[in-house]
Amino acid sequence: MRKRSVTLRRPRAGDMGRVVQLHGELYAREFGYDATFEALVAEIAAGFVRHFDAKRERCWIAAARGEVVGSVFLVKSSATVAKLRLLIVDPGARGLGLGRRLTRACIRFARRAGYRKIMLWTQSHLAAARRIYENEGFRVVSREPHRSFGKRLVAEVWELKL
């Protein structure tokens, strides 16, 4: 797969299901997460569809040869704060800078939409995602150990001031 062969587009029918499936499969295989993680992703995707605000929110689907190979969502948290959610890149599309492209799309849109800050929630062991966030200027503002998805994890909240 080549960098130019991956396009970012708005979601189409069936894409939300694929985003949920991709998260469920990848996190189970790579990190041992249980089905409660997939359920959380499904809830986030459903909430996005049900409450979508076209002026303040977006979802980008990364597609290659007609297949969904990644996604990211930017959702309204408040009038001044947006949340980056569900960043994922299929293993077959890694190494193309796709995670960075998706994250930068969120940042550009958040600035145009008038947000002052982007927040995100992630886990301390997700090194590739954390590297992207750090390189784009996000900073960790809190860490908290927890038990979720059948694992002992350390949740991190990151923010980027716009």
CATH at residue 9: 3.40.630.30
Question: What is the pTM assigned to this prediction?
Answer: 0.94
pLDDT over threshold 80, residue 66: yes
**Per-residue confidence band for 1, with pLDDT thresholds at 50, 70 and 90:** low
pLDDT at 4 (0 to 100):
65
| Averaged pLDDT, 37-66 | 96
Q: What is the pLDDT of residue 24?
A: 98
In what helix (H) or strand (E) does residue 140 lie, and over which residues does it extend? strand 139-148
Calculate the average pLDDT of the chain.
96
How far apart CA 74 and CA 103 sit, in angstroms, is 9
Angle between helix 35-51 and helix 15-31 axes, rounded to 10 deg = 150
* Number of structural domains found in the chain: 1
pLDDT 10s digits, 89-108: 999 999 999 999 999 999 99
Q: Give me the domain span that covers residue 129.
A: 3-161
Instruction: Give bridge partners of residue 84 from the DSSP assignment.
Output: 74
